[in-house]
Amino acid sequence: MARLFLAVFPPVDVIEQLGELERPEVEGLRWTNREQWHITLRFFGEAEQGDVEDSLREFRGAASTVLLGPASRWLGGRVLALPADGLDELAAKVRARTETIGQAPDRRKFTGHLTLARTRRRLHGAVVSQPFDAQFKATGLWLVSSQLHSDGARYTKLSQWPLG
């Protein structure tokens, strides 16, 4: 079993734009990097790759326009993220097809976001919200394996389903 999730990745031009955001050094804050920037649609935790792939066999999802921004904000006090709108319908379809795999899906309403930084303790005042405005067409859904390391997670793209 592996630690798995389904995600949409921004294209190179949006990654470049994200790379221009200020990343001040703040004790206890760990910034994510280019290889980690994605929007999670469904986190499975420990699950079998084949189970996820079987549940999405012949999956058809529409290409969605994703709007990132208008500014970074704190989620739950420990995640600095950019809101990502436009993936609610795709996330609902993915959830319906994978409900019995891995850990139970979050029962809260889907909140699309791209994580910029994480902290173990609340740092609300330490990083000021930054404006950001980008949009892109999500044309692929990826199954991703996550390996946790002391310097952050490393991701491996395993399978892809085209959207369109």
In tens, the pLDDT along 96-151 reads 999 999 988 888 889 999 999 988 777 656 676 889 999 999 999 999 999 987 77
Cβ-contact 26, 127 below 8 angstroms: yes
Residue with the bigger pLDDT between 69 and 152: it is 69
Name every residue whose Cβ is closer than 8 Å to that of residue 37 and which is 6 or more positions away in sequence: 9, 10, 15, 18, 114, 115
Q: Compute the chain's Rg from CA coordinates.
A: 16
- DSSP secondary structure letter of residue 105: P
Question: In the chain, which residue ranges form alpha helices assigned H by DSSP?
Answer: 12-19, 49-55, 88-98
Q: Which two tokens stand for residue 90?
A: 């795709």
Which residues partner with 2 through β-bridges? 47
CATH classification of the domain holding 73: 3.90.1140.10
What is the percent of the chain with per-residue pLDDT over 70, rounded to a whole number? 97
Give the pair of three-digit tokens for residue 95: 């959830």
Among 164, 89, 160, 74, which residue's Cα sits nearest to residue 122?
Answer: 74
pLDDT given for residue 126 in this prediction: 63
Residue 24 has pLDDT above 70, yes or no: yes
Q: What is the mean pLDDT of residues 34-63?
A: 95
- DSSP annotation of 24 reads -
Q: Whose CA is closest to 41, among 154, 148, 138? A: 138
- pLDDT at residue 40 greater than cutoff 80: yes
Query: How many domains does the structure of the chain reveal?
Result: 1
Mean pLDDT of 36-53: 96
3-state DSSP call for residue 34? helix
Task: Note the pLDDT of residue 123.
Answer: 66
- Residue 9: which domain range? 2-162
Please say if the pLDDT value at position 59 is more than 90: yes
- Note the residue count of the chain: 164
* Highest mean pLDDT out of 21-30, 48-57, 118-127, 143-152: 48-57
DSSP 163: B
Provide mean pLDDT across the span 151-157. Answer: 85
pLDDT for residue 65: 97
According to the model, what pLDDT value does residue 125 have? Answer: 63
pLDDT confidence band for 89 (50 / 70 / 90): very high
